[in-house]
Amino acid sequence: MGNIGVGRAQLVKDKSGSGANHALLSTTHTDTTVQTVSRGSLVYGDSAATWTELVIGAANKLIISDGTDLSWGLANNNSVDNTNVMVLFRKKRQIGLVPAGNNWGAFGAYGFGFATEGTLSTQTTVDGVYIRATTAAVLNSDSGTLVTSGHRRDLNPDVEFKFQVNTSATRRVMIGFFASDPMGSDTNATVQHFGLRVSTSAGNTGFVLTHSDGTTQAETVLAATDTASHTIRIVAVNASTKWQYSWDGGALTDISTNIPAATTTLGIFDEIRTLAGSAANFDTWYWNGIADK
């Protein structure tokens, strides 16, 4: 050791040789894990609170976060902030419907067809332009829109609907992805689906998130029914074998059980049925989103 005096204080200069050339991830540093450098690798903080090596990933992989650690992986709906971002790291097509006269106009490179039932009419208010679907005054009459071409979980659709149910009694509304027509019953266990049901049948009231794998139907009550406008966002994340939903702009909630299979063809329903001999109606401002090409 060599001592350097400064007044009454004394600074100690270390001559042990630790300042010599050495590897970054070596025993010289107490806050690193000893690693041998490799081409393309990165240095990151690990679970032991030390600096260590992240070896380069396979071709076309991206660095992704699980909220705690980094890894290499594929981009999917969890690779970005789903609450605010709808641009994903894969080729996407825009899908949706917006009011066009007394009907809907499709937009984007969607490649689907759609059919309508009942009476559709354009309404214009301070809340914007929307389509009102009204049934006939005949028991079990339907009105609304059905997208007749297929969507599937493995195409990772991400779609939001804005709607308002005006008829508060003796009606059923279905919004979302269904493998076949769900309007005849609140219970659709044999129909693979993931969507929203609004019903006044005994024991089935409220805004209900409903889903099935074709065998077992599960439900989550989102809110009591009312005649206000709402949004429901439905997202498929095939890489994680799950669906997600967001009610009125809230955080996305994961559902990974009792869900449609990856390649099941699903139509998109946005319809109301009267459960009495009187007309029923609901409004839809839009449904829009994206899906894989």
Q: What is the pLDDT of residues 108-120, one digit of tens each?
A: 434 456 788 999 9
For residues 153 and 260, the answer to whether their CB atoms sit within 8 Å is yes
Stretch 14-37: mean pLDDT: 72
Question: Band of the pLDDT at 88, cuts 50, 70, 90?
Answer: very low
In this model, does residue 81 exceed pLDDT 60?
Answer: no
pLDDT of residue 151: 85
Q: Which residue, among 181, 147, 151, has the nearest Cα to 262 in the 3D structure? A: 151
Cβ proximity of 62 and 73 under 8 Å = yes
Q: Which residue has the higher pLDDT, 89 or 36?
A: 36
Q: Higher pLDDT residue, 113 or 261?
A: 261
Domain ranges of the chain: 2-73, 92-292
| Short-list 213, 141, 132, 193, CA closest to 172 | 141
Mean pLDDT throughout 129-142? 94
Domain range 92-292, its CATH number among 2.60.120.200, 3.40.640.10, 1.10.760.10, 2.160.10.10: 2.60.120.200
Rounded CA-CA distance 290/224 in Å is 29
Summarised one tens digit per residue, pLDDT across range 4-22 is: 444 444 544 444 545 677 7
Question: What type of residue is 257?
Answer: T
Residue whose C-alpha is closest to residue 265's, from 122, 161, 157, 124: 157
The stretch 195-223 carries a mean pLDDT of 89
pLDDT given for residue 109 in this prediction: 39
pLDDT band at residue 149, thresholds of 50, 70 and 90?
A: low
Pick from 1-5, 92-96, 117-121 the range whose average pLDDT is largest. Answer: 117-121
Q: What is the pLDDT of residue 82?
A: 38
Is the pLDDT at 287 greater than 80? The verdict is: yes
DSSP β-bridge partners for residue 178: 193, 267
* Range with lowest mean pLDDT among 109-118, 131-140, 164-173: 109-118
Which tops the pLDDT comparison, 105 or 43?
Answer: 43
Structure tokens at 176: 């979302």
At residue 263, the pLDDT reads: 94
- Positions of E strands within 138-216: 142-151, 158-165, 171-178, 193-199, 206-212
- CA–CA distance, 118 with 96 (Å, rounded to integer): 20
Q: What is the pLDDT of residue 103?
A: 64
Distances in Å between the Cα of 276 and the Cα atoms of 25, 141, 169, 231 are 75, 9, 9, 26
The whole-number pLDDT of residue 248 equals: 95
- Both tokens assigned to 246: 């967001």
What type of residue sits at position 245?
Y
Q: What is the DSSP letter of 156?
A: -
Question: Of residues 255 and 291, which shows the higher confidence score?
Answer: 255
Mean pLDDT of 275-292: 90
Percent of the chain as helix, strand, coil, to the nearest 5: 0, 50, 50
- Model confidence at 202, pLDDT cuts 50, 70, 90, reads low
Q: Which amino acid is at 202?
A: A
Which has more confidence, 107 or 92?
92
* Residue 3 confidence (pLDDT) above 80: no
Would you mind telling me the total number of residues written for the chain in this entry?
A: 293
Token duo for residue 66 = 């699980």
Residue among 226, 169, 178 at smallest CA distance from 202 = 169
